[in-house]
Amino acid sequence: MVTPVGGQERTGIAGWRVLHFDEIDSTNEEARRRAAAGDEGDLALQADVQTAGRGRRGRAWLSPPGNLMFSLLLRPKAGPARAAELSFATAVALHEALAQLTGEGFRFQLKWPNDVLLDGAKVAGILLESATGGDGALEFLVIGAGVNLAHFPDNTPYPATSIKATLGHRVAVQTALDEVLTRLGHWITVWERDGFAPIREAWISRAAGLGERITVRLSDETIEGVFAGLRPDGALDLLLDSGASRAITAGDVFLPGVVGVSV
């Protein structure tokens, strides 16, 4: 275990307890450690630098100073499948926050399952991790997110960018975190009160590639079809050339004109 540097508590934002670290291995790992130690949740952990940040499928996540890296520890009263819907709530919150902070919301879109795009390039990503007990009940949920405010990596599976590189905006990390937490607090309240339907509607209204032909890279095959929508459980609805519809629950999506890098 890497000993976190810092760990100062900030004034809560929209009901969140907020901890800031100068340097840490991974905010997701720290969230998991705190969950194991009995933390009650509703906790946001943000770091200036991560030495072992990661994204989906175990990929490394570039974590230099100037970008926003944070994780949320939640203990939702829901099963694992329903709790996973909060990935979409987080994506919508990120979209709204970045739109507000830059004034150029029309240039941001959401890519299934959990990316935010700026002019078609990835500017933010989300990683969900959870643990269940012996009875299958959810013990905790960790939502990790990284936003490329100032820097972005090269040679990624999907083209990437940053707010600074594409828009020329300098967005302060703390300002961005506060805006995201405020927006996400709202959407979690909506989810608890009204379920997934309003979040699904909000996500679809911001979706990239809807109604277009896309490529989906699965663990054992690559398929193409038309992105027909989002199913009620959050699966991507892919219309195949045969006319059949297929539910995609995990995979990497590539939009028209985008060539992925083999990893």
End-to-end alpha carbon distance in the chain: 27
Q: What is the pLDDT along the chain (263 residues), one digit of tens a residue?
A: 455 655 777 767 878 999 999 999 999 999 999 999 999 999 999 999 988 766 555 555 556 789 999 999 999 999 999 999 999 999 999 999 999 999 999 999 999 999 999 999 999 999 999 999 888 889 999 999 999 999 998 878 789 999 999 999 999 999 999 999 999 999 999 999 999 999 999 999 999 999 999 999 998 999 999 999 999 999 999 999 999 999 999 999 999 866 543 32
Q: In what order do the strands lie in the sheet with 115-118?
A: 5-13, 16-24, 43-50, 68-74, 138-147, 121-132, 115-118, 108-111
Q: Encode burial over 131-164: b for 16+ CB neighbours within 10 A, e otherwise.
A: eeeeeeebebbbbbbbbbbbbbeeebbbbbbbbb
Nearest one of 44, 72, 69 to 54, comparing CA atoms: 69
What is the CATH class of 5-204? alpha beta
Q: Specify whether the CB–CB gap between 31 and 142 falls below 8 A.
A: yes
> Closest Cα to residue 157, out of 58, 37, 30?
58
Distance between CA 130 and CA 140 in Å, rounded?
6
- CATH 3.30.930.10 occupies which residues in the chain? 5-204
The span from the CA of 251 to the CA of 125, in Å, is 14
Report the DSSP pairing between strands 16-24 and 43-50. Answer: parallel
In one letter, which amino acid is 71? S
Q: What is the DSSP letter of 261?
A: P
Q: Which residues of the chain does CATH 2.30.30.100 include? A: 213-254
> The CATH number of 213-254 is which of 3.10.20.30, 3.30.450.20, 3.30.70.1350, 2.30.30.100?
2.30.30.100
What pLDDT shows up at residue 66?
A: 94
Global confidence as pTM = 0.91
